[in-house]
Structure 1
């Protein structure tokens, strides 16, 4: 199997078993002007395979900083043969990279679909399928990914961490992760089409040595949840939301997968 076919196959199968999808730089705290490689991953339990990073899969790729917003999709390769893209940041401070993917579709057997809904806290969808007599039917799903990653360049941070970017499903940190101390609380807000999303299952992931840690909370009426992060290191926040389709194009459900990655330092850093 050549690399292009392999990357495409990973894209098409990435939701088959409720796989997470995330973006990371090769270093979260680069010096000013140093090259950074951004990569995309799909997998489970923070163990992933690289997937192709190019225009065919991207609905949009944007970069937010205190200098404003920059559209990056035109700079992506026109194929999926690369698993990373290179950037360099010429100004110190927080850099927020935001990716929204094109829609992909998948059909799952009823039992696997129900198990995946339960794992992602989507009991509401299970109840809807039961009420409409669809529980024994395959799950026909169209899914999109909405991912972010935060970098701290030159040892400095600023308010760009909390930029609202207009993603369909968006995770917004309400406190700067770079300023937290180990044991500090990270509040986040989940927005769906710009409005607070109540009752969403938020998972917060960290790999510490051989130990995988997954902390779970639910959002309140303001779409907010808070999680204590016991130690520094690389963290990932994820959330999934699903609604019935309305366009009659063959799929029954639209799912949106939000994701945020960042590195919390062992010691807080100044602005």
Structure 2
């Protein structure tokens, strides 16, 4: 059986890399973000654009972490089973409170043709890379990049909405967005402020893109301010996706043959209608 699983894992890993390379957003999507304490909530790993895409299986060899943090800080592995779809599961097992699901992949190197790379830089607000390419006559050269994904989501088990305040705590991902207030108290018509953090520190000038399930297009693109905070308008009820990219010059050392290193983060949230 082990001999059969190794080629399968390699094939699934290759498919996952190919899917990630041709898409922008990468996110975690629970079947619901509010549940009873006795439910088991499936969690899907998804990749695509404008909140539309394909699901990916959980492959241990491709994940640095895929964890659930529950009441009391207990950590569990979210992976449901090898190569399963949905990829993970949250099990409150009678324990009310907030469950944070955090994922990190192992990262991948990619070469992107010049037109696609330039368009991607424009769409994701990576102006410093675009400016570097323009100033150095590289606009017709392919982009060489190493990228890593850091999505997260939440599930609130039980009817104590106040427990959602723990969503305002960082998950110690290299790159992440953290709401400054309880996101489970949001309603359509409110605003949501996010702290954009890189290595635990506020990061200014990052473009945060917002999407709503079924809308078919980006809703907003806002920049984090000098304090690393981005405020978005929640103009409708529904399932929201918040996504951002940060990129830095690659460290020049043996074995590194790419020019840029990028970090992708996202979070998903269900917003109910006004009361």
Q: Do they superpose with TM above 0.5?
A: yes
Query: Hey, what does 1:91 align to over in structure 2?
Result: 95
User: Does the CA contact (< 8 Å) of 1:174 and 1:188 recur in 2?
Assistant: yes
1:139/1:167 Cα in 2 relative to 1: closer, same or farther (>3 Å)?
same
Quote how far apart the aligned CAs of 1:145 are: 0.4
Q: Secondary structure at the match of 2:225?
A: coil
Matches of 1:156 and 1:67, distance apart in 2: 15
Matches of 1:19 and 1:235, distance apart in 2: 16
Gaps of 5+ in 2: 1-6
1:83/1:217 Cα in 2 relative to 1: closer, same or farther (>3 Å)?
same
- Aligned ranges for residues 98-117 of structure 1 at < 5 Å? 98-117=102-121
Please give the root-mean-square deviation of Cα atoms over the aligned residues, in Å: 2.2
1:18/1:131 Cα in 2 relative to 1: closer, same or farther (>3 Å)?
farther
Deviations 1:37-92 (A, max 9, x none): 1110111121111112121111112222341141427x664x43544223311321
Answer yes or no: is 1:80 the counterpart of 2:86. no
Answer yes or no: is 1:201 the counterpart of 2:207. yes
Per mean C-alpha deviation after superposition, the further-off stretch among 11-20 and 85-94 is 11-20
Q: Secondary structure at the match of 1:152?
A: strand
Deviations 1:163-222 (A, max 9, x none): 2122111110112121012101100011111111111110111135x6545211110011
Aligned pair count reads 264
User: Does the CA contact (< 8 Å) of 1:3 and 1:81 recur in 2?
Assistant: no
Matches of 2:129 and 2:231, distance apart in 1: 24
Quote how far apart the aligned CAs of 1:14 are: 3.3
Matches of 1:104 and 1:76, distance apart in 2: 24
Match of 2:139 among 135, 141, 156: 135
Q: Give the structure-2-normalised TM-score.
A: 0.87
Match of 1:13 among 1, 7, 18: 18
Matches of 1:170 and 1:69, distance apart in 2: 20
User: Does the CA contact (< 8 Å) of 1:177 and 1:263 recur in 2?
Assistant: no
Deviations 1:99-144 (A, max 9, x none): 1111112101112111111111101111122334433321111111
Match of 2:263 among 256, 260, 270: 256
- The structure with more helix, counted as a fraction of residues: 2
User: Does the CA contact (< 8 Å) of 2:50 and 2:216 recur in 1?
Assistant: no
1:86/1:17 Cα in 2 relative to 1: closer, same or farther (>3 Å)?
closer
